[in-house]
Every structure is written in structure tokens, then in C-alpha cells.
């Protein structure tokens, strides 16, 4: 069985750190990924002597910045419900942010902060940027709408009973709709708006660490909630193109926290 290390990306670190209750207005502020991200840190805590969880200073710094942004957005979303005045919610902003930062520092305690060679990562950065450009082109070429709709209509035309709409509906639900949904998600993440420099830097650092760990036959996971790294959450033939290509190119294996927790708990890697 391979040794393994799990590099925590900012969406997971932040996700596991934002959960607090505002007593003055009786409302809870919680990150969308808290329920799926926090259990992984409980696992890290149980295995703290093994230091399977790792992080970089860059991820920590970006998480601190992102934390304030997400807390503000959460307060804004709560205010939009009309039940609370935004001004009243913002009075609690500093206290909420302080509590979330304390929680993040607690989470980081169960991770090892890996040293990074900025010079070497800088070289890899351009490779990752080129990789994402190529991946964007591949995803654009994947547009399945024309091909699979043609196949679906051909299937309908070949049916004995041309008026059997249920036959076509089944073909659409089983084969057409999932592919269209998966492509739509990929299109929004990679074509409409591609990875930013933070995503590229994180993958560059992961690739740098993967090269080091490969020498000791250690598998590197990158745990993330970001679809610039992990598969889109639609079961289809094209949903896994992103993590598959990252693994092939950089020996970095990307997975969501809830799925990775199942893997490391129950399966050999």
C-alpha cells in the first residue's frame, strides 16, 4: 500500500472553519461546505501523529483572505431574506471573523505546513497555466449537444411506435441530459470563466510536492471543493476529465473531502 499525503486546498480549509452562531440576532453563519469538509479534520486529528494532512503557507494566506469575503457574503445573503437588517448583522462581522479565524487555526494544528521552493514553483506555474489553456480547448471540443441529440432523435425514429414519447424521454434522461449538464458545468468553470492565478498557484505547489513525494512512493491527494480540480457533480462520461488529466499530467489526485474520507478510511490507495 502506498503512503499518502493530503494537501488541503483553501475551499476545504475555509469550509471547515466557518460555522458560528450570532446570539444577538439568533442566526447561524455556516459555509456551504462545512458539513462535508469538517469531518476530514476530525480524521486528521485522530491520526495527528501520522501527519497525513498537509498545507502550504500560500493556502493559509489565501484562506484568511477568502474567509472575510465569504463571511460578508453570508451576512448579505441572510439580510436579503428580509428577516434581519444588514446593519445589525454587520455589527457582528468582526466577532464572527475572529471566531472563524480561531477555528481555522485549530484546523491548521492538525496539518503539517510544507516548505515550498518559490523558484521551482514559479517554473511549474507556467506549465500549469499552459495545462489549463489546453484543458479549456479540450473541454470546448467536448460539446456533446449536437452529437448526443442526433443519437437520441435517431433512437426515437427507430422506435416501433413513433408516438412513444416515454421511449425518447428515457433515452434523454439516461444518456443525453447528464452529458449536457456535465458539459454546462465544465463550460461555466473553464470556458466562461477559467481558473484564476490562485488556482494555478495551488496546483503548481501540489505538482511540486508530488514530485518530491514520488521519490518516496507517496501518493499526493489534493482535497478540494473547487471544480477547477475535482470532477463535476453529475454522473456522466465527461464529468471526470479535470481530475483525470491533472493526475496524468502532475501525479496529483484530486477529490472532494467527503469522497476522499471514504477512500482513506476504507480502501487501500
Q: What is the mean pLDDT of each run of 10 residues along the chain (269 residues)?
A: 90 96 81 96 92 96 94 88 78 89 96 96 96 87 61 55 52 60 73 87 98 95 94 70 94 96 74
3-state secondary structure (DSSP) of residue 180 = helix
Predicted pLDDT at 170: 54
Exposed e or buried b per residue across 24-62, where buried means at least 16 C-beta atoms within 10 angstroms of its C-beta: eeebebebebbebbbebbebbeeeeeeebbbbbebbbeb
Confidence (pLDDT) at 112: 96
Q: What share of the chain is helix, strand, coil (3-state, %, to 5)?
A: 65, 10, 25
Residue 95 sits at φ, ψ, to 5 deg, of -70, -40
Output the pLDDT for position 269.
46
Instruction: Indicate the DSSP class of residue 231.
Output: P
pTM exceeds 0.85, yes or no: no
Amino acid at each position: 500500500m502506498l503512503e499518502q499525503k493530503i494537501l488541503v486546498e483553501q475551499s476545504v480549509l475555509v469550509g471547515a472553519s466557518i460555522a458560528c452562531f450570532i446570539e444577538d440576532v439568533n442566526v447561524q453563519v455556516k459555509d456551504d461546505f462545512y458539513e462535508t469538509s469538517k469531518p476530514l479534520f476530525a480524521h486528521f486529528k485522530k491520526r495527528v501523529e501520522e501527519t497525513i494532512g498537509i498545507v502550504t503557507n500560500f493556502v493559509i494566506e489565501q484562506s484568511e483572505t477568502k474567509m472575510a469575503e465569504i463571511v460578508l457574503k453570508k451576512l448579505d445573503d441572510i439580510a436579503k431574506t428580509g428577516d434581519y437588517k444588514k446593519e445589525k448583522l454587520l455589527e457582528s462581522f468582526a466577532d464572527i471573523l475572529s471566531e472563524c479565524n480561531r477555528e481555522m487555526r485549530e484546523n491548521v494544528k492538525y496539518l503539517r505546513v510544507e516548505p515550498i521552493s518559490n523558484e521551482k514553483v514559479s517554473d511549474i506555474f507556467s506549465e500549469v497555466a499552459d495545462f489549463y489553456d489546453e484543458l479549456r480547448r479540450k473541454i470546448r471540443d467536448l460539446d456533446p449537444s449536437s452529437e448526443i441529440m442526433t443519437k437520441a432523435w435517431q433512437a426515437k425514429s427507430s422506435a416501433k411506435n413513433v408516438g412513444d414519447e416515454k421511449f425518447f424521454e428515457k433515452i434523454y434522461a439516461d444518456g443525453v441530459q447528464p452529458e449536457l449538464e456535465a458539459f454546462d458545468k465544465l463550460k461555466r468553470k473553464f470556458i466562461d470563466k477559467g481558473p484564476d492565478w490562485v488556482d494555478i498557484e495551488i496546483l503548481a505547489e501540489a505538482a511540486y510536492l508530488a514530485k518530491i513525494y514520488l521519490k518516496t512512493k507517496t501518493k499526493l491527494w489534493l482535497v478540494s471543493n473547487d471544480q477547477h480540480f475535482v470532477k463535476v457533480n453529475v454522473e456522466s462520461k465527461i464529468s471526470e476529465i479535470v481530475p483525470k488529466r491533472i493526475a496524468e499530467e502532475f501525479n496529483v489526485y484530486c477529490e472532494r473531502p467527503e469522497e476522499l474520507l471514504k477512500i482513506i478510511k476504507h480502501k487501500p490507495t
